[in-house]
Each structure stands twice: as structure tokens, then as C-alpha cells.
Structure 1
Amino acid sequence: MASAFSRFRSEDDLGAQVARLSKEMAALKKALSKRGSDVYDDARDAGADLYGELRDRFTDALPMVRRRAHAAEQVARDHPATAAVVGLLVVGLLVTMLARK
């Protein structure tokens, strides 16, 4: 008879353990969700900061890039054969680099 009561008590203990584990799992899911949301927000903020910094740097450098591009265009117009050779070399180099990967 003692074994029958101990069996019922162990079933009650098992039910209580399952209930506790279910509550712990729910708490862990909630904590993970919160942490994932925080990480996403941090990554989004870091991306926005990086984008803003890059935009500022490119905006500052854009006039110089335009002047250099205009100078390169003028050299290419003055020496078309040389520009064609350099262009073919650059294209060949890019094709070689892409073919290796």
C-alpha cells in the first residue's frame, strides 16, 4: 500500500516539475525575445551611424573626386590610345580577379 501512495506522490511531483519547467521555458523565451530585440536595435543604430559617417565623408570628398575625374577625362581625350590601353588593362585585371574567385 505504501508503494501506491508513493507512486501518486511521484506523479504529483512530476506534474509540478513539468509546470515549473513550462514556466521557466516561457520566462526564457521572453528573455531571449527581449535580448534579440535589443541586439537588433543596437545593430540598426550602429548601421545608421556608419551610414551617416560614410555619407559625410563622401560628401566632403565629392568635389575633389569630381576634379580628379574631370582631369582624367581631359587626359583621356588628349591621349586616346593610352587611355584605351589602360582601360583594357584594368578590365583584364578585373576579369582575372573575378575568374579566380
Structure 2
Amino acid sequence: MASLSNLTDLDLERQVAALSRELSALKRDVAKRGGAYYDDGRDAAMDYLSDFKDMIGERLPGLRRRAYALESTARDHPATAAAVGLVVLGLLATVVLSRRRD
């Protein structure tokens, strides 16, 4: 007859083997789900990018005209452009520094 310690050892070995199989099954399931979530996220990002591209593509000619008008104004009035640039930089610096203190 087998001793009690041998029966306990066999039982523990069976439990460890069962847990190992269950862990392997869980790993496979997580890998499948992770792949599905990755695919869903990639598809959503591609949809957003496509929508953004369509929106920008429609407005691009107007943006180019405004940029050209701004450029010509800055060339005609360089001192004013420099002053406005410094004011914008000052405002940005103030916003950044005020957030650092919080």
C-alpha cells in the first residue's frame, strides 16, 4: 500500500498539471482577445484618419489662401508681425509656466 505522503505528492502533481493546462488555455484566450482588440483599435484609428483627411482636404485651398495673405501682410509690416509674434510667445510662456506651478 502506498504511504500517505506519496498519495499527497501524486495529488499535488495532478493539481499542478491541471493548473498548468488551465494557465496555457487562459494564455491562448488572452492572446486571441488582445489581437481582436488591437484590430478594432487599428480600424477605428484608420477611420478617424480617413475622416480627418477628408475634412482637411476640403478646407486646404482656403487655408492656403489665408496663409498666403498672412505671409504677404507679414512681409509688408515686419515690425507689427514681430510684435504680434512676441505677444503670442509671451502668452504661451505664461500658460506653460502657470501650469507648472499647479
Task: Using structure 1 for the length normalisation, give the TM-score.
Answer: 0.80
1:36 to partner: Cα distance: 1.3
Q: Percent identity?
A: 49
Provide the secondary structure at the position in 1 that maps to 2:70: helix
1:60 to partner: Cα distance: 1.1
User: C-alpha root-mean-square deviation of aligned residues, in Å?
Assistant: 2.1
Provide the secondary structure at the position in 2 that maps to 1:39: helix
Task: Name the amino acid aligned to 2:74.
Answer: A
Corresponding residue for residue 78 of structure 1: 76
**Mapped partners of 1:48, 1:40: distance in 2:** 12
Q: How does 1:1-101 map to 2 (within 5 A)?
A: 5-100=3-98, 101=100
Unaligned runs of 5+ in 1: none
| Of 64-73 and 18-27, the range deviating more from structure 2 | 64-73
Task: Using structure 2 for the length normalisation, give the TM-score.
Answer: 0.79
| Of 28-37 and 67-76, the range deviating more from structure 2 | 67-76
